[in-house]
Structure 1
Amino acid sequence: MRSPSLIHQSTKIAGFGLFFALFQVAHAAPPEEIVAQIESLSSDSYLRRENATEALLKSGPAAIEPLVEVLERGDLETTQRAIGILQSMAMERPILEGESEHPKLARPNPNEPDAWETLLMLSTMGGSRGERATMAVEEITQVRRAQTIQTLSLQEAYIGVKEFVYGATSNLQRVVEITGAYQGDDSLLELLRWIDKVEFARIEGPAIRKGVLKGVTQMPDLKTLSLLYGEIDLETMKVIGDLDSIDHLEFRYVPLNDELLDAIATLPIRISLTLNGTDLSSDQVDALRQTLPGLNIEFKRGGFLGVRCNDSFNECIIQSVVEGSGAEVAGLLPNDVIIRANGEPIRKFADLQAVINTRDPGQNIRIGYRRHNVEYETDAKLGKLTEPN
């Protein structure tokens, strides 16, 4: 961490950005002076190179296009300094436009060139300019990512490693999680555009709303999105449709109807859709499957027993029992072998899941199991699938 408080650092950057913009308006250098300063970047005099660098920084966006032009013919010294100037310009901009009472002053003309966008463009090119621009982009992203994590964490958003449940699997993943505990303004979540290399996001309860979803969908590497324990309306659903694609989408204990199903049919889902405890009927889901024949749709009524088993075995051996679940209350233990569920023979964990998936939370299920080669039966009350703490 570069300083004790990245928020304080961000505030300083925003404040300097406002001062920098005001200075620009009053002291914009003429084009010929900018060109002369750029030529001085390759001077034999170190002091002259330093003065030229400082002057170009003060010129702001007006210097961006001339700097890009010189990169096409510049030597290594000029390339390093030109990229460094663009990097400094990008970092001087406030992390959020709204951090200033006069946000437009941070970029007086939205049609002017932008240093960050310019660096992104240059990073796709070859040669030393592409390499230097890539390094600058990575450094800026690291700082912005750290600022974002600290800023949003103070507002009770979670960004970090956590167990993530999707469908029937549960793994430790890097996740973004927004729940009803989130205290910030929804617009603050636009900062999530700086959270790269995180593929999983979870939105829960009252946080399932348009503003939150708009922020979460800014995540550049988002692939799996779970919406849990809340309600969704058509306008919020449309935000998902603004994505280029989403690999996996889950609705868990989120009521859906025909209108929302029609909207789901238009979403850019690539691989799988999980519908768990959504109050939908089998007929409604079958109709959706016909509309989306290439999509893997997993449909569950929402009942949850609370056992974890290895699905690769030819027996349904309990590996662990979820604390407080119906399975624990019913007396099931690790290493028990489930052999029947509501009279249906169980040979693998998938067989047990198939039976449970047809049951609602609150329903009882009769479990036959074997312990130390002795068979027993017990009744278990199904609950709801919750996220591990």
Structure 2
Amino acid sequence: MAEYIQGEYFFLPQEHVLFGVGSLAKLANEVKVMGGQRVFVVTGHSLATQTDVVQKVEQALGSLHVGTFADIHQHTPKSDVARAVEQVHKLNADVLLSLGGGSVIDGTKAIAMKLSVEHGNFLPHIAIPTTLSAAEFSHLVGVTDEEQNIKAGFAHVQVTPTSVLMDASLTLSTPLQLWLSTGIRALDHAVETLYAPGAHPINDVLALEAIDRLFKYLPQSKYYPEDLAVRTELQLAAWMSFFGEVNTPMGLSHNLGRRIGASYNVPHGITSCITLPHVMRAMASTHASALAPIARRQGLVDSSASDQDAARSAADAVSALIQRLGLPQRLRDVGVPADELRKIAETTSSQSLKVDEIEALLKEMW
């Protein structure tokens, strides 16, 4: 009897994506189209004090800009969100604008959530990313509890940014290691899409295209960091990597990254550099058919290779890419103590591996 594919697809309430160099010129009109008059910018300290990016965005907003909160730290501490909410209240803002990487964008989602609990509605949110983490395309939020030093989170479709504006010229000030490592984060999104449970044919096509582009353009961006055409291609690849992520739950690499990142102050791009190749190898036997196309599209194996061999080759190729980009690949190199690997394993959720297996995997990463 024939087997038929069956599934369902959910759409996040994201209305508009603007992309390409020069898109910043459309920002003020974007605010007006959504009925906004008082825009509150949320960003990080480094971007505000060490670059002119925030100033450019404020100038593009003109009289629509009412204030800027430039103090969202890495991994989005809960206290930062609370202080930003106070400022939104004082300034009576009607549009939130996040400018930065995943921590800033997640922080702005958390601000929107907090305000909605207080007032019953969600403010429109325009996200302008300066990294490749792709948080702007997600309804997921990670916030760090500073007292417990653990990153928790929540999911709510209404915190998905209403609009996204990707202008590669605004990414030139992003430190190269941050830019490249968040590109590996996007690669992590795409790989985990492929072996996520359920049927997701649309996501799979985009994930494989994202992987191809990331393999091609990340090395080019390392050697030609000023090339805006290459940076634009990478922004599009990041979008593809996390397209409709509500349909593809995150896997073990992301779960380990969340657990390691906040507890040991490791950026999530770097956690993906360390965890992804090892998790791919661990999944090669159970998810071979999902991972094998990566290697086949890259021409890494011949047609006679088994899916399992192709899946392992894909993991090796990811590891080689990370090495070529000059990014960290070991837990010991980012300050994670060897005697805490068991605790990390015990507090990391996984549907695929048991605690002992996760611990063994962490020892390989160390």
Structure with greater strand percent: 1
Does the alignment reach a TM-score above 0.5?
A: no
Higher relative contact order (CA 8 A, sep 6+): 2
TM-score (norm 2): 0.28
Q: TM-score, normalised by structure 1?
A: 0.27
Larger radius of gyration: 1
Structure showing the higher helix proportion among its residues: 2
